[in-house]
Structure 1
Amino acid sequence: MNSELKRVCVPGPVIVGGGPSGLAVAACLKEKGVPSLILEREDCLGSLWKLRSYDRLTLHIPKHLCELPNMAFPPEYPVFPTRRQFISYLDAYAECFSIMPRFGQEVKWAEYDSTMELWRVRTHDSEFLCRWLIVATGENAEPVLPEIAGLSTYQGRLLHTSSYANGAEFKGEKVLVVGCGNSGMEISLDLCENGSQTSIVVRDKLHVLPKEMLGISTFGLSMSLLNWLPINLVDRFLLLCSWFILGDTQKVGITRPKIGPIEMKMTTGKTPILDVGTLAKIRSGEIKVLPAIYRFTTRGAEFVDGRVLEFDSIILATGYRSNVPSWLKEGEFFNSQDGYPNRPFPHGWKGKNGLYSVGFTKRGLLGASMDAQRVAEDIAQQWNSETKHMFFEL
């Protein structure tokens, strides 16, 4: 081992990641009397929300379905808390449970040492030894850049949504948004409302649903109906309501998949778009829908229908990915390609040799909270006096 590295023996679990998932499992462990240590690569908690999210972002799911274990949102918060409100909630959560991560500790690699029967977790200046390792870096650890010909030749302003704050600085520009998930749709609306000539690439078939139906959040309504009805009937109901509220999306260049929105979410993890006003701007022509990009040019892009258009700025709303394969030296629990647990929800929270995951359920904060409670309960059952004192003998 490098003589400059400091070896740290951790009696409880090491948690990699100081976002909502890491905070949730740390709080659940503390409630059961198990100490833990969070390693966070940035200098703050909830870095995705604090450093890489746009100003107008709100939760797309009602707050009661996004609460972390053992702490509700303040009652005065709206149904869909804003970005700033959610950040305040995370800070208050960490303070409530006295969670103090080690910041600036990016994990370079982690590997199970069968001789010591411990995990070795290496950062730039330290090696942490622990009996349990909890991976909580989440589904959105690294921005995804598309593999489209000519991207490096484009000479205008190019950025990923992780670097986008608001549309004020794009006023008067021709802007292309590449990607039509919830972020792409919402950023397109933000650009349009700030005076940009906005276009959005819609390459795939997708479901667009109203954010609320019958005065209730669409997601909350769906979850309630699933308690009584099969998925196919719930999907039919959602699509019928969407048709009455939003009209035929195919008329504006958005084709729906054959599989229903809830079934698609549960089988593929792909979330339907919850409309916040973008569709009306598309219908009015203020936001233009374009097909897939064939290649980028020095001044814009050529599309698969043959059109070649120029843009002052291009914003890549192409999502994020897990970064687990880049640092976790383990080939069974996590998939080496996509960085998710190989076993699907609800069975993907526990591996071998004290390895766990939180926040890889494709079910948002609710799924992360469910994982956190399962992991904490499992580790607490193993936590005994022998384990507590084993490190003093190293």
Structure 2
Amino acid sequence: MHVEECHVVIVGAGPSGLAVGACLREQGIPFVLLEKSEAVGATWRRHYDRLHLNTIKQLSALPGQPWPEYSAPYPSRVEMVDYLERYAERFRLEPRLGVEVERAYHDGSRWVTRTHAGELRSQALVVATGYSRHPNVPTWPDQERFRGRILHSSAYRSGAEFRGQRVLVVGAGNSASEIALDLWEHCAETTLSVRSGNHVIPRELFKLPAQFNALALFERLPLAVGDRLATAILSRAVGDLSRWGIRRPAVGPGTRALKEGRMPLIDIGTVALIQQGKIKVVPGPRAFTETGVTFTDGRGLPFDVVVLATGYRPGLDDFLENATRYTDEHGCPRWHGAPTPAPGLFFIGFRNPITGQIRDIAAEAPRIARHIQGVN
């Protein structure tokens, strides 16, 4: 087996891995960047066509490269892919594409990263594979009886494919909301299954982007104070949506995002369609039938297609030895952009804070690079 010595190995060439690579490049620290797909930003390339950032471009830039002026205020999926390609070119990151990590472990003195192409030994290992590595696909009783189509949101591209069909979207998050909107815009008969409540935040409130409001409430104020203020503001701006099937959780939006990993729903028009009766809302599924789904409130409805917008799993235990030592009950790292109990091990891009994920990555990457300077 070919063995290569290097200073740093970065696993993943999405926004996180590219950002760390750029920061290391600026400091003159050599590294090897591995990506199992055939291009940078693979996750963004796979997302559905309609996807846009819910955060504004001014606060969604990686270190060293602002968004172009011609970009949309909330960049699209295509614009994000183009941005990441240009970022890799600007900082000469040159990831090794099509190289999947099979195993990574610390041998007592160095990190060993094994791939089908050989073995790398490094002083530091940066895991930047993100929380969207594996689709989370729940199952329900009698699901195999359903004669229609069931797909995870990772396989959804456009509502054009489902024009005129009866589609159930399962989920209460931003992907579920935007997919439901996309389906309605393509003339599908759309129903949204909300299994648990969620906080709803207009993408722009008081003529300001939601991200600005989140920064004002949660960046400098204690979490409990920010939650109380946010709940009071949303009570007036959004109101009680329970009559339309969307309940507000008892836990505040900041606490829920931080401790449960559950992001508020950033509304871009779906709620208005729900209030107008154009998109139906039902509770969580209880079981499938041959022609549809029965729900926890006892009613049953016919469907042709079910889209599961039920999130993802990081899957770190697939390749990282003793991954449970570093992860929580959801499989996400307990350390972010900071040293872990293992020497030279860092995680980045596994959080989705209410103040913006890419903004968070842009803060974590320089910190990791500074810590790596001190790794012998």
Band the TM-score falls in, shorter-chain normalisation: over 0.9
Q: Give matches, 1:1-394, under 5 Å.
A: 5=1, 7-51=2-46, 53-114=47-108, 117-226=109-218, 229-331=221-323, 333-335=325-327, 337-343=329-335, 349-363=339-353, 364-382=357-375
Q: Deviation of residue 172 (structure 1)?
A: 0.4
Q: Is the 8 A contact 2:337 2:347 kept in 1?
A: no
Query: Once the two structures are superposed, what CA deviation does each residue of 1:252-311 show, in whole Å capped at 9, x if it has no partner?
Result: 111101122123222322110010100111111111111111112232211112222221
Equivalent position amino acid for 1:372 in 2: A
Q: What is the aligned length?
A: 373
Kept in 2: contact 1:346–1:361 (CA 8 A): no
Structure 1 residues 246 and 110, CA gap change in structure 2 (3 angstroms): same
Q: Letter of the 2:198 partner, please give it.
A: L
Amino acid at match of 1:318: T
TM-score, normalised with respect to structure 1: 0.89
Q: What amino acid is aligned across from residue 44 of structure 2 in structure 1?
A: W
Verify the 8 A CA contact 1:333 1:341 in the aligned structure 2: no
SS at match of 1:108: strand
Residue 346 of structure 1: how far off its partner (Å): 6.6
SS in 2 for 1:155: coil
Mapped contact 2:348–2:364 kept (Cα < 8 A): yes
CA distance in 1, matches of 2:167, 2:313: 25
Asked if the contact 1:10/1:37 (under 8 Å) is kept, the reply is no
Give the CA deviation at 1:247.
3.3
Percent of aligned positions that are identical:
38
Secondary structure of 2:126's match?
Answer: strand
Query: What's the secondary structure of 2:374's corresponding residue?
Result: helix
What's the offset of the Cα at 1:120?
Answer: 1.8
Kept in 1: contact 2:328–2:334 (CA 8 A): no
SS at match of 1:13: strand
The amino acid that maps onto 2:162 is F
SS of structure 1 residue aligned to 2:151: strand
Residue 232 of structure 1: CA displacement?
A: 4.0
Per-residue CA deviation, residues 81-114 of structure 1 (Å, 9 max, x unaligned), is: 1111111111110000001111111111112122
**Could you tell me whether the CA contact under 8 Å between 1:139 and 1:321 is conserved in 2?**
yes
CA distance in 2, matches of 1:332, 1:351: 12
Residue 153 of structure 1: CA displacement? 3.2
Shift of 1:229: 4.3
Question: Could you tell me which amino acid in structure 2 is paired with residue 159 of structure 1?
Answer: L
The structural deviation recorded for 1:43 is 0.5
Relative distance call for 1:228 and 1:33 in structure 2 (3 A) is: closer
Supply the distance in 2 between the matched residues of 1:176 and 1:227 (Cα, whole angstroms): 37
Tell me, yes or no, if the aligned pair for 1:15 and 1:39 is still in contact at 8 Å. yes
Are residues 367 and 299 of structure 1, via their aligned partners in 2, closer, same or farther at CA, if it must alter by over 3 Å? same
Q: Give me the whole-angstrom Cα distance separating, in 2, the residues matched to 1:132 and 1:236.
A: 41
Partner of 1:387: none
Alpha carbons of structure 1 residues 145 and 66: separation in structure 2 relative to 1, 3 Å: same
Bigger radius of gyration, 1 or 2? 1
Residue of structure 2 in register with 1:388 after alignment = none
Deviation sequence 1:29-62 (CA, Å, 0-9, x none): 11110111111111011111012x1111111112
What's the offset of the Cα at 1:336? Answer: 7.2
Deviation at 1:11, TM superposition (A): 1.8
Unaligned runs of 5+ in 1: 384-394
